[in-house]
Structure 1
Amino acid sequence: MQRSHDTAELYWKVSDAFLQTPDPQQQLARLEELRVELREAYAPLMQSVRVVALEGPAATADAAQAVQDAALKVNQCLWHITRGDADARDRFDVAEAAYRQCQARFVERARAATEAS
C-alpha cells in the first residue's frame, strides 16, 4: 500500500506544478524532475505488486495489478506532456483520476484481506 501512496503523492506534486508554476519553462523543468522521480518510484511499485500477486488473495492481487497499470498510463501521459503534446494534460488528469480510483479499491481490498487473516 505504501508504494501506491508514494506514487499518488508524486501525482499531487505534478498537479501542484501545473497550478503553482506559471512560467512555462520552469513548469516544464519541474515536470521533468517529477517524471524522473515517478520513473524511479515505478520499479518499487512493480516489485510490491509482484509480492501481492504471489502472496495475496486474487481480488487483492487484481487490484494491485490495476494500480500498476494505471500508474503506467499516468506516467506515459506525463511523458507526453514533457514532449509538448497539447492534449496530454487532459489525458493526464483522466488517467490520474483513474489511478486514484484503482488505488482506493486496492487499499480497500488489502485492508479486507489483512482483517480476514
Structure 2
Amino acid sequence: MKINVKKAGKNIIKAYATVAVIANTIALNVSASALPEGMPDNVDTSSYDAIVSIVFWAAGIIIASASMVPGFHAMSEGKANEDKRGFNSGLTAVIVGAVCSIACVAVRYIFF
C-alpha cells in the first residue's frame, strides 16, 4: 500500500482546521457565557467547565489519531522499503501530531 503524502498532508491540515474552528467556537461561547460579571452569583458553571474539558480532550485525541496513525504507517513502510524520506516524513507527522494534541489540551488548562 502506497501512501500519497501530499494528499494525506492536505487531509490532516483540513482535519486540524475543522477541529480548531469547532473547538474555538465552543470555547468562545462557553467562556463568554461563564464570565463572572455576566452571571448571577448563584449560577453553577461546573457543567460548562466539564464540557470545555471534554471538547479539548476530544480535539486532542482526534488530532493525535488523525496524524499519528498515518505517521506510524509511513514510518514502518519507509523502514521496510529502506526509504529514508518516507521514514522521516512519518516521523515528522508523529512528532507534529503529538505536539499539536498536547498543545490542544494545554490550552484548556492555561486559558480556562
Q: How high is the TM-score relative to the length of structure 1?
A: 0.41
Bigger relative contact order (CA 8 A; separation at least 6):
1
Q: Which has the greater radius of gyration?
A: 2
Q: How high is the TM-score relative to the length of structure 2?
A: 0.42
Higher helix proportion: 1
